Structure 1
Amino acid sequence: MQSSVWPRIRSLLPPTLEEFPQELGPEVDGAIVMCMKEAAACVYRGDLGRCGQLGEMIMDYSWEKLNGRNWRDVSRDWRTAYSYGCLFKVLGDCAGGLEFNKDEALRVCDMSLLLGAEIMDNVISKVIQILSDPLSKDSVETPESTTDLTHRKQKRVRDTQGNEAEAEPNGHIPEKMPRPLTPVLCANTTIPTVRCPSLEHFRQNYLIPQEAVILDGVIDHWPCMKKWSVEYIQKVAGCRTVPVELGSRYTDAEWSQSLMTVNEFIDNYILDQRPARRGYLAQHQLFEQIRELKEDIGIPDYCCLGEGDEDDITINAWFGPAGTVSPLHQDPQQNFLAQIVGRKYLRLYPVSETRRLYPFDSSLLHNTSQVDIDNPDADKFPDFAQAAYQECILCPGQILFIPVKWWHYVKALDISFSVSFWWS
């Protein structure tokens, strides 16, 4: 007995074995090439259990190659092999009938998107669409996929003193949970706000002179403004595997990265807000992985004033608890930061103030300031106090234009979900 999704997934494959791509790059070991050819043959003769076993073997062997050296030295050949291993593993699982585990299949697909290379006209993403289709009814659902959201929302969480508190029905943390103090802004440092400026007005007054500005009323029509909440993200993406940054900020010694499901991230780092548990979902692939979220956003019209095409725009997701900090840094492109959920405090410094901001000397952190904005060391960084800056509290529905290479510091004042658009 096969799972209900198998016929749809089978339709994504070439009709015959002869048409199935079987060439891997020259760096891939001959034994893995033979495994791939045998796995493909298993698909077409109906031996899908063996196909899944071979896929897992290819995945495991390729994983060692991917993790045995610096990531930039990993060849595309091995990333391609890893993706084929993931595909064969999922094909075997999807044909498994009562043993089919949809969440495990999605995890394998996500690992392919995160670590592998695109294969067969992006077949992995198409498999994910089928697996994520709410109309797909499989023989057996895993405990995670059948978890009652009401039960999840009633989980007890801990405040920063370790005391337990009940999560509210909408998934947000009760107001008695400690939050960062809202900064008091000075009139002469506040970034100006304009409502729905024309393209020409924005170009002449902000883009050409490279001046920061908050755009109001521009994204009110985006579906995310009405739909997104912790509960909604759990519903559409809870079982998906994503990379999470662990630690308060990436300049801290204890900062690291880990792969986990969105539900694990929400439970351990959004709902549990003890200072020792700081995590941040910061990912440029999130919207390619999870199409339901991508369909809820748009691209700001003002990006058309850039030199590149829409495909050249990099879209990043930033999802984390109150208190999460992005240290003072600069980006190589123009940046629209759209605030969807919660508020953020931002402080911006123009490029002309770079000398007073004391960037790190290392090539890895050359775009990051050594100064801790929350606790600046006047003795070590004497000129920092003279650096001119602008600041704002970015609220849901607003977009902040950050000119290229302007320095910016960001602190989440609430549970926050932002989307940034990098464009040239």
Structure 2
Amino acid sequence: MQPSRWSQIRSILPPSLEEFPQVRGPEVDGAIVMCMKEAAACIYAHDLGRCGQLGELIMDYSWEKLNGRNWRDVSRDWRTAYSYGCLFKVVGSCEQPVFNKEEALRVCDMSLLLGAEIMNNVISRIIQILSDPLSVEPPEGTTGLTNKTQKRPREEPETEPDGTTPEKIPRPLTPLLHVDATIPTICCPSLEYFRQNYLIPQKAVILEGVIDHWPCMKKWSVEYIQKVAGCRTVPVELGSRYTDAGWSQSLMTVNEFINNYILDQPARRGYLAQHQLFDQVGELKEDIGIPDYCCLGEGDEDDITVNAWFGPAGTVSPLHQDPQQNFLAQIVGRKYLRLYSVSETERLYPFDSSLLHNTSQVDIENPDTDKFPDFAKADYQECILRPGQILFIPVKWWHYVRALDISFSVSFWWS
């Protein structure tokens, strides 16, 4: 017989109240500490309803602390308290007459996004219990897909705030590449060849045949992403590019993102870009690997930052630079990229602000030559990155990215 949801979760918690971590922190109010102690006691007294109520109270109070100041000033104590609140709320929902799995997963995701790791990553282990990739259904109000052409039904068109109906975004044109500026492509170079010819001299190159064996190359599609991650909550960037005045971020489920920004494309942009997606969704993490060439760096594998980039055609990353070496692996769709070496920095007119100092002011596909006269003198390389290819972007090289199709890329930042 399949163990109950509660018995599975109970099995990964400490066996007794005495062994439950004593939650305290100098910045956490005494009343909240007492709530956490009472909620823990409710678990072992099997008073799950009260446990869930206290968890929600702790979450709400901690939420105010997390959002009442700049994120860099938020203490780990309050992030820890928030995660315990999430834990207690989810535990408290286990034996409700109607269990809302999507809501429980949302609470767990909020802990991963905003909280701190607690109890040997207990939140991620609860997610594994709650998630069954073979039976995941889109939450009520969204539409699953049975084929690549199925669309979300709409009774009437969406409108802008002024009442007008937005135009559909035309499919981006494929740029014509300049032969002399095309980034070279090589197939499965040895580690030593790559190190001597590209890593040491810091030259961009496209690698082929390196990730053909990754499961994602056969499995990933919009439908598959919905199946394994549709009800997971993620941060989404809203706007054409992060330098625009109207750019913002919002939390939503992957299904909401896909239905609103991938399948139906009114005149608006959304982009799922974050480094925690693979920690949140283990099924996706199992479908990729770490390129062997990363071992040529100075750090360990744990020091490599893995980022997910998922968005519709037309999504743009403005010309910018990153502080580490970068392997950009293209899994789904195509992307146009233009690269400039570090030596061209003065001709690229970076922003003066500390926040955007790594970003160029120039719209490279429509440059203002009067405002940025030296930009036309800057040498560049370009490519159209296709599924199965990896682009090596040397550290601090400037790069501009535009998706030509619905696109899913994975980047690896390493030193």
Q: Please indicate the TM-score interval, normalised by the length of the shorter structure.
A: over 0.9
Matches within 5 A, 1:4-403: 4-96=4-96, 98-134=97-133, 144=140, 148-150=144-146, 153-156=150-153, 178-275=170-267, 277-403=268-394
Any unmatched runs of 5+ in structure 1?
166-176
Does the CA contact (< 8 Å) of 2:138 and 2:255 recur in 1?
Answer: no
Q: 1:388 to 1:12 in 2, by over 3 A?
A: same
Q: CA deviation at 1:155?
A: 1.8
Check conservation: 2:39, 2:88, Cα contact below 8 A.
Answer: yes
- How has the CA–CA distance of structure 1 residues 354 and 134 changed in structure 2, closer, same or farther, with 3 Å as cutoff? closer
**TM-score normalised according to structure 1 size:** 0.92
Residues 329, 52 of structure 1: CA spacing in aligned structure 2 closer, same or farther, 3 A cutoff?
same
TM-score under structure 2 length normalisation = 0.94
CA gap 1:146/1:279 in 2 versus in 1, 3 angstroms? closer
Residue type of the partner of 1:14? Answer: P
Q: 1: CA distance between counterparts of 2:183 and 2:266?
A: 32
Distance in 1 between the 2:139 and 2:296 partners? 48
Task: Please say if residues 26 and 77 of structure 1, whose CA atoms lie closer than 8 Å, have aligned partners that are also in contact.
Answer: yes
- TM-superposed deviation, 1:187: 0.9
Structure 1 position 417 matched with structure 2 position 402: no
Q: Deviations over 1:2-52 (max 9, x none)?
A: 993111110011100000012221100000000000000000001000000
Deviations, residues 102-130 of structure 1 (Å, cap 9, x unaligned) = 11000000000000000000000000011
Give the Cα–Cα distance (whole angstroms) in 2 for the partners of residues 216 and 414 of structure 1: 20
C-alpha separation between the residues in 2 aligned to 1:238 and 1:259? 13
**Superposed displacement of residue 163, structure 1:** 9.1
Deviations along 1:259-279, one digit per CA (max 9) or x if unpaired, are: 00000000111112122x200
| Counterparts of 1:121 and 1:208, CA distance in 2 | 39
Q: Which amino acid aligns with 1:49?
A: G
Distance 2:109 2:89 in 1: 13
Aligned sequence identity (%): 84
Instruction: Give the number of aligned pairs.
Output: 407
The one-letter code matched in structure 2 to 1:311 is D
Q: What amino acid maps onto 2:342 in structure 1?
A: V
Q: Do the aligned partners of residues 142 and 54 (structure 1) sit closer, same or farther apart at CA in structure 2, a change above 3 Å counting?
A: farther
The separation in 1 between residues aligned to 2:312 and 2:143, in whole angstroms, is: 23
Looking at structure 2, the residues matched to 332 and 121 of structure 1 have their Cα atoms a distance apart, in angstroms, of 31
Contact 1:103 1:145 in 2 (8 A): no
Tell me which amino acid in the other structure corresponds to 2:146: T
Q: Shift of residue 316 of structure 1?
A: 0.2
Q: Could you tell me which residue of structure 1 aligns to residue 161 of structure 2? A: none
AA at the equivalent of 1:274:
P
Task: Tell whether the 8 Å contact from 2:207 to 2:390 is kept in structure 1 after alignment.
Answer: yes
Q: Distance in 2 between matches of 1:255 and 1:162?
A: 21
Cα distance in 2 for residues equivalent to 1:74 and 1:44: 31
Counterparts of 2:265 and 2:143, CA distance in 1: 22
